Chain A
Amino acid sequence: DAKTTQPDSMESTEGETVHLPCSHATISGNEYIYWYRQVPLQGPEYVTHGLQQNTTNSMAFLAIASDRKSSTLILPHVSLRDAAVYHCILRGSGGSNAKLTFGKGTKLSVKS
Chain B
Amino acid sequence: GGIITQTPKFLIGQEGQKLTLKCQQNFNHDTMYWYRQDSGKGLRLIYYSITENDLQKGDLSEGYDASREKKSSFSLTVTSAQKNEMAVFLCASSMGQFSGNTLYFGEGSRLIVV
Q: How many residues of B are in contact with the other chain, CB < 8 A?
A: 25
Tell whether A80 is near chain B: CB-to-CB under 8 Å. no
Is B74 positioned at the interface, with any CB of A under 8 Å from its CB?
A: no
Known: A91-B99, A92-B99, A98-B48. A43 touches B105 (CB 8 A): yes
A: residues with CB less than 8 A from B are 2, 30-32, 34, 36, 41-46, 49, 51, 91-95, 97-104
Measured CB to CB, the residues of B under 8 A from A are 4, 31, 33, 35, 40, 42-43, 45, 48, 56, 58-59, 90, 92, 97-100, 102-108
Distance (whole angstroms) from the CB of B29 to the closest CB of chain A: 13
Tally of A-B Cβ pairs under 8 angstroms? 61
Determine the distance from Cα of A64 to Cα of B67 in the docked complex, in whole angstroms.
39
Instruction: Give CA–CA (A30, B40) in the complex, Å.
Output: 29
Closest to A36 in B: B105
